[in-house]
Amino acid sequence: SGNTSARIWQMGGTDAASGCWPLTLLPHGRDSADRKNKNVTTLEWSSDGELLATGSYDSVARVWTQTGKLKHTLRSHHGPIFLLKWNWRGNFLLSGSYDKSTIV
């Protein structure tokens, strides 16, 4: 996103015409002064749908619950994160970054 956030939309039915309510906002900064270089570049749901991982330009991967609670903050990269992938069991997360590294 270009506004340093991701959103979880709850679908009202089987198609978009049914509407999308409620909306859960996942902010990647506390306020406007804390949002520099935190635009979201990638995201990935765990296979069971319980966790959402987001990666951003600030080199941080974040793991969120379905309700929008920040569960983990992973700060090992030195460049923007462009790839996230959960293993099938959902107990490992792979991240890939512009810094030419991958971390599990």
Q: What pLDDT, in 10s, does the model give residues 54-103? A: 999 999 999 999 999 999 999 999 999 999 999 999 999 999 999 999 99
* Whole-angstrom distance, CA of residue 39 vs CA of residue 81: 10
11: helix, strand or coil: strand
The pLDDT value recorded for residue 5 is 87
Region for 99 from its dihedrals, namely left if φ exceeds 0, alpha if ψ lies in -120 to 50, beta otherwise: alpha
Do residues 93 and 104 touch, judged by C-beta distance below 8 A?
A: yes
User: d(Cα 19, Cα 11) in Å, to the nearest integer?
Assistant: 6
Is the per-residue pLDDT at 33 higher than 70? no
Q: What is the pTM of this model?
A: 0.85
CA distance 4 to 38: 5
Q: What pLDDT does residue 93 have?
A: 97
